[in-house]
Each structure stands twice: as structure tokens, then as C-alpha cells.
Amino acid sequence: MVELLGGTSSLRMAEAPSAQDRRLTSRRLAVLAATILILVLAPTHFAQARRYTAPHFSAIVIDAQNGTVLSEQDADRPTYPASLTKMMTLYMVFEALEQGRITLDDTFTVSMHAARQAPSKIDLIPGQKVRVQDLILGLITKSANDAAVTVAENLAGNEAAFADRMTQKARALGMTNTVFRNASGLPNPAQHSTARDIAKLAQALWRDFPKEYAFFATEEFTYRDQTYETHNHLMQEFAGMDGIKTGYIRAAGFNLAASAVRDGKRLIGVIMGGSSAHGRDRQMAQLLETSFAGNPISGDALRMAAFDDGSGANSDGAAHTMAALNPVGRAEAAIPRQAAHGSKPPHPVASSTGWSIQVGAFANYDAAQNAGAVALTKLPTAKDKIALVLPPAHSDKQPFFRARIAGFTETEAQKACRTLHSVMSSKQKICAVIAPQPASQTVLQLGPPTPPAPALVQPAAQPADAPALDASGTLEDD
């Protein structure tokens, strides 16, 4: 190409593109290519986001004694077990204890791999030696992923080998739709289970390890001057609850395996894919409460529970569920709290007398005292009993004063609750049988507290158990 200059006969070649022009053109092409790539991949990315933000709901309730299914909804649908995985990790530990291969006082060594696990964790240090009992309690209360991997590596050499053993044990227990790939429940696409299989595992833990099962009632655990509280808030809120495990990752939703006993009847419930921790807990309370009453919900009613966010707006049984969630003690399952590092594992306390009943939990002392006095007037055969108020427990998320009537035998306490259920108004039919507890755990308050009790506090709509964010950006609350 040529260019005529000023009408003269002189000709000059057109200038070639400069190096700067070439760099600008390359940058424009790179930006264009990146834009095209984003447009091509975006539908897939957004589809995955939609898939993980709305996990599928499934649930089941069984009779622990015989495995009879009382209620179920999509109980065979595969999903991610999240931290419910640790139930099998604990099964393997309990089995090793019962077989004499390890003891609670044995120590396991923490590896770099274990210490680097994403939260939740108890901040174990590479090379540290940790007692088996502390690892168990860290798994149950804090749902510590570093503790889970430490257990796996010390029992099987490495986590992958331990996960293979977990899957083999699952098959032996009849869990036909479960595969484990790690000991913690942190995200792995190949790891999956079902509500039915998790219920079988919960039943096996209770059946096969009656002594070690008591660990699941631990409400708090102190390790290296740090106190960890259980993520299972129904332990303080549902009468008879004594375990088992919560779990959450974004792809799974809010999971819960729970077990409760009333009048000698034990039920096991499993919820997978709850929409929130608060809603999941209310759904579980509704499932167990109706099953204990002999009228388990199923079908459309159970599907409705899947969409109940805890407000009660979508549930005909909202008022009943609210009553079930009154923060009462664990009926017939009162097990001492594990309070400090180095103390003995929890175990049931037996006594022929010293049983009590709880008739409510209140945000101020006067309301609790009045409830106990009213309940006493409704019990003609309890004139020699004593109405007491228990001050707020250390584990209370909000301060509650518990109204109790003491001095019963177990049979008398059960009869007293039946009487109150029959004579009290619907709003006051809250009564739980409380087993004897050590004096150090049952501090009775005979007079108004000093300083004065706090003003009435309404329960918060969402518990203060906001999940932590792990290094991969996946939420894991336990």
C-alpha cells in the first residue's frame, strides 16, 4: 500500500502497526475470549448454584426397639450426610473400645492432615497427643473435623482406609444406600446416604453400645480451657431427648438424627435437607411429638412440615409444636453433663426416689414459682411434695427458670404428669418426668434470685448457631 504526499512524486510505505498496537489488540482478544467463556459456562455454574441452595427434604421416624417405621417421606432418596457421617466414625471408635483394642485413656497422635481440616474443629496441633475420650467428646459436642481425622488415621493408618471400613460396616448394618469417603462429612461428591440408612445407624449405636451411647447426652465439653456446647439444641428443648447428631453443608441442607425416650418408648427421627437449623429442629419436634402421641404425621402433612420455616405459618400443629419445644429437661434420660477435661464419661444415675416433674421453663423467677404452685394445687396426692425453681443453666442460650415439683418415685412422677395433662388447660399441659441428678448438677433456688430476674425475653426466631465458613467456602455448622 502506498500514499501520495502533497501531490509530489515522492511515495512512502504506510506505517506497520507498532508493538504497543499489537499489545492492545492482544488484550482486546483476551478480554473477548474470557467474555465468551463466561457466557458459555455461566448457565452450568448457575444451575449448580440453584441445585445446591435448595436441598431435597427427606425424613423418617422409627421405633428403636423393633425398627418399625412410624412415618417417612422420601426416606430412600440419596443425599449428602454432612456431619452425620461422624455417627459412623463414632461407631467405629465405640467398637474398638468394646473389643479392647483401645481405651478411653489411650492417646492418638495428631497429623498435619488432621490439623489442617476445615472447621468445625477444636484446633488440634500436629504432633499433639490427645486422649480418646477427648476426641469422642470433641466429635459429639463441637463436631470437630480435626478430631474425626485423628481418629481415622490412628485406627486405620489413613483416612481413606478408614472410610472404606466405614462403608463395609454400613453394609453389615443393612445400610445399603450409603458410601463414605471421609471420616468428617466434609464435602465429597461420592459420599452419600439416606434418611433410612442414618436411622439404622442411630438404632445400631443405641443397641450395640448402650454404655458409650450415653456420651451423646453430653451438652458441653471443656478442652484446653475452651468450653464447647452441643449443636443439638433439642437436647435442652425437647422432653426426653438424649442425642444424637446434627450436620450441615450447603449441598445437603440442615440434617439431624435425634433420639428421645418417653414412658419407656424410644423413637429415632432423621431429617435430611432442612431449610434452616431452627426450622429443622421444629420439624423434628413435630415428627417425634406426633409419633409419641400415636398419631404420626405422614404424606401431605409431612410434606408440609418440609416447608415450615419455624414461624408456624404453614403448620396446623404450630401451637402443639411450640409446646413441645418449651425448654424442659430430658425426661427419663437425665445423664450428668460432661463438664471438664479429664472427668469420667457420663452415665445414667439410678435412684428409687428423688424423681421430679418439670411444669415449665420461664424467663423470670416469679412466673416459674407461680407455675409450680398452680401445678401443686392440681395434684391432690402431692401435698407432701416440694415446688422448686431451678436457676438458668450455664448452657442456656437465654436464661430460663425451670419450675419443678420434687420428691416423687418414678411411678409417682409419671402419674403426676398424666394427671396434669388431664386437668390443666391446653396452654398449661407441659409436664416432663425428670430422672434423679447429682446434687452438684441440680442447684435448687428457694427464693428470688439476686440480682432480680431479667425481664421476660421472647425466644429468638433463629438460634445463635450460625454456621462457620470453611476454607473452601462451604458452610459447615458442626
Cell numbers at 238, concatenated? 425437647
Closest-CA residue to 371 (of 460, 432, 437): 432
Average pLDDT over residues 25-53: 49
Phi, psi at 159, each rounded to 5°: -70, -40
Alpha-carbon distance of 434 to 353, in angstroms, equals: 11
143 a catalytic residue: yes
Please, are residues 219 and 233 in contact by the beta-carbon 8 Å criterion? no
Alpha-carbon distance of 83 to 182, in angstroms, equals: 10
Please, are residues 12 and 2 in contact by the beta-carbon 8 Å criterion? yes
Torsion over CA: 257, 427, 425, 307 (sign) = negative
Phi, psi at 281, each rounded to 5°: -65, -40
First to last CA, the chain: 72
Please, are residues 357 and 417 in contact by the beta-carbon 8 Å criterion? yes
Task: Pick the catalytic residue from 58, 111, 120, 143.
Answer: 143
Task: Pick the catalytic residue from 83, 259, 291, 315.
Answer: 83
Alpha-carbon distance of 389 to 366, in angstroms, equals: 9
Alpha-carbon distance of 244 to 271, in angstroms, equals: 12
Helix (H) or strand (E) holding 202: helix 195-208
Which of the given ranges, 168-177, 218-227, 286-295, has the highest pLDDT on average? 168-177
Task: Pick the catalytic residue from 86, 142, 245, 385.
Answer: 86
For CATH 3.30.70.1070, list the domain ranges present in the chain: 353-434
- In DSSP notation, 270-295 reads EEEEESSHHHHHHHHHHHHHHHHTT-
DSSP percent split of the chain into helix, strand, coil, nearest 5: 40, 20, 40
For CATH 3.40.710.10, list the domain ranges present in the chain: 57-331
Please, are residues 465 and 141 in contact by the beta-carbon 8 Å criterion? no
Q: Name the CATH superfamily housing domain 353-434.
A: Sporulation related repeat (3.30.70.1070)
86 a catalytic residue: yes
pLDDT band at 136 (very low <50, low <70, confident <90, very high): very high
Cell numbers at 7, concatenated? 501531490
Percent of the chain past pLDDT 90, that is, above it, reads 36
Q: What is the pLDDT of residues 254-274, one digit of tens each?
A: 999 999 998 889 999 999 998
CATH (residue range 57-331):
3.40.710.10
| pTM, 2 dp | 0.59
What's residue 370's pLDDT?
A: 81
Is a pLDDT exceeding 50 seen at residue 315? no
Please, are residues 368 and 401 in contact by the beta-carbon 8 Å criterion? yes
pLDDT band at 242 (very low <50, low <70, confident <90, very high): confident
